[in-house]
Amino acid sequence: DVVMTQTPPSLSVAIGQSVSISCKSSQSLVYSDGKTYLHWLLQSPGRSPKRLIYQVSNLGSGVPDRFSGTGSQKDFTLKISRVEAEDLGVYYCAQTTHFPPTFGAGTKLELK
């Protein structure tokens, strides 16, 4: 299975600060169709996961443009500019390029 390694495991931030989360995969996530099926999800406290970004850099419906995703091959980054209180929770990267789909262990974003 493809191992997804997220760092850091947790982040303590102040409102208005910008942060980045790294996600590295054990194999290239470029599929045979040339697309990269690396996605980001946010699980707010007590809630189910919610789609944030799909295919590396595409924002999900209703996701503010303070969120951005970059990366290629095996190295990906989620950036949040100007963190707001509603952004707190656990961020997961996920890959669906290879079977089975796998998730990172999560990065917990907390208030400083």
Encoded amino acid at 103, one letter: F
Distance, CA of 32 to CA of 64 (rounded, Å): 31
Note whether 94 binds other proteins by CB under 8 A.
yes
Distance, CA of 51 to CA of 27 (rounded, Å): 23
Distance, CA of 69 to CA of 51 (rounded, Å): 13
Applying the rule CB under 8 A, the residues between 8 and 47 that interact with other proteins are 37, 39, 41
- Closest approach, Cβ 90 to other proteins, in A, equals 8
| # binding residues, other proteins (CB under 8 A) | 22
Note whether 110 binds other proteins by CB under 8 A.
no
Counting Cβ atoms within 10 Å, is residue 26 exposed (0-12), middle (13-18) or buried (19+)? middle
Stretch that binds other proteins, among 22-30, 68-76, 77-85, 88-96 (CB under 8 A): 88-96
| Residues lying near other proteins in the complex (CB under 8 A) | 37, 39, 41, 48-51, 54-55, 58, 60, 92, 94, 96, 99-106
